[in-house]
Structure 1
Amino acid sequence: MSFSPPPPPIFAGENYNIWAVKMRTYLQAHDLWNVVQNDTEPPPLRANPTIAQIWQYNENCAKKYKAMSCLQSGVSDVIFTRIMACDSPKQAWEKLKEEFQGSEKTRQQQLINLRRDFENLRMKESETVKQYTDRIMATVNNIRLLGDDFSDQRVVEKVITTLPESMNQRSLL
């Protein structure tokens, strides 16, 4: 049996950070992520190359176009028009990132706001522990999507230290 990969995730203008994680994994699965990251051309063939070297060189040259095809196929037509003039997959990736995730300064401000939201989270009297942890995880996942390494230990500490005193450990089980 052979593995038939799924089509690339489609980005239509919403939830860029989630799409970017999925698309990066998709490109990695097809051995194309390095082409997007590095934007380098393969070195030229040396004199008198073997058939295997020619084949490998052609394969490496085609990766740029395969990665670009994946990116173009992974966006809606409206988004495609924003990257159709890009010459490389890296250029297309960076253009989407800048437009939909914002500049580095914008991302840093978003992280500051999300970290503040995290610190200010408290369990409401009308909430179950599950609902409260779901709210915490929504904030944590948004922090992680922006590239911040947020430990599970910190999440557990948050839950334990912010539960109302009326809660005891038995109610967590």
Structure 2
Amino acid sequence: MEASSTTIRLAGISPPILDGSNYHVWQVRMKAFLEGADLWEAVEDDYVVPPLVANPTANQQKLYKERVTRKAKARSSLYAAVTPIIFNRIMSLESAKDIWDFLKKEYEGNKKIKGMKAMNLKRELERVQMKENESVQEFADKLLDLTNKLALLGTDLGEERLVEKLLCSVPERFEATIASLENTREISEMSFAEAVSALQAQEQRRVLRRGDELVEGAMQARVKHGSGEKKKKGKQFGA
């Protein structure tokens, strides 16, 4: 716990946590975290800190302490960035580089395993379809999550493929927007963000139209109810 609090004070944020299933995303975020904390050199190079010479100057003492401390902080940052189960496996490793290399070997997987993971993600991407109760943004985020995971495994689908997948996977209610896009733009030249914005515009119009219909229905019901009350009172007075 002490190592974790030290790391948080050092970088201003908590390190990402490796749970064993998220290594490819974790290693990108963790490297950025260590670079921001000026600790990546201690992981990448595992430099040796020479012992102090006899009668060192104040500057030599300061530099020695800084380099030793950086190595210690890099190691403690990695300790704090894994689950307790993984920590038990790395606690005996003596340097941050040893820890980093162990985690890479253990969780990155060889070329064959990475290829299988990429194939499974491609299949999932092919199968996924936007649900009727799902928003455009929610579905777009789902597609981006899958493609980002594929990119980390070395497979880049490209913008055009992502746009095509989006337009082919939304419900029929978006057909008018898709037809308009196909008539006015080259789909191959459209960015994913532009395609998402176009679909969201129709989605928002549909929500506003539904809201207007609900308001109109409520007003008609109120008028009808008021008329009924007036007739009822008129009969009472007539009696």
* Fold equivalence (TM over 0.5): yes
Deviations for 1:23-47, whole angstroms, at most 9, x for unmatched residues? 2222112111122122232567789
> What's 1:72 paired with?
79
- Between the two proteins, what is the percent identity of the paired residues? 35
Q: Report how far residue 70 of structure 1 moved.
A: 0.8
User: Equivalents in 2 of 1:82, 1:152: separation in Å?
Assistant: 40
> Structure 2 length as normaliser, TM-score?
0.54
| Change beyond 3 A, Cα 1:54–1:99 | same
Q: Report how far residue 134 of structure 1 moved.
A: 3.4
Q: How does 1:60-139 map to 2 (within 5 A)?
A: 60-115=67-122, 117-118=124-125, 120=126, 123=129, 126=132, 130=136, 132-139=139-146
Superposed CA RMSD in Å reads: 3.7
2:37 is the alignment partner of 1:30: yes
Structure 2 portions without partners, runs of 5+: 1-8, 182-197, 202-239
Q: Report how far residue 62 of structure 1 moved.
A: 2.4
2:179 is the alignment partner of 1:168: yes
Higher normalized contact order (CA 8 Å, seq sep 6+, divided by chain length): 1
Give the 3-state SS of the residue equivalent to 2:16 in structure 1. Answer: coil
**Runs of 4 or more above 4 Å deviation:** 42-50, 115-118, 121-129, 147-154
Letter in 1 for 2:144: M
User: Equivalents in 1 of 2:155, 2:56: separation in Å?
Assistant: 46
Structure ID, larger Rg: 2
Q: Contact 1:41–1:61 (CA<8 Å) still a contact in 2?
A: no
| Change beyond 3 A, Cα 1:87–1:145 | same
User: Equivalents in 1 of 2:107, 2:10: separation in Å?
Assistant: 32
Corresponding pairs, count: 170
> Structure 1 length as normaliser, TM-score?
0.71
2:24 is the alignment partner of 1:17: yes
Letter in 1 for 2:31: R
User: Equivalents in 2 of 1:3, 1:73: separation in Å?
Assistant: 13
Q: How does 1:23-62 map to 2 (within 5 A)?
A: 23-42=30-49, 50-62=57-69
Task: Write 1 or 2 for the structure with the bigger share of helix.
Answer: 2
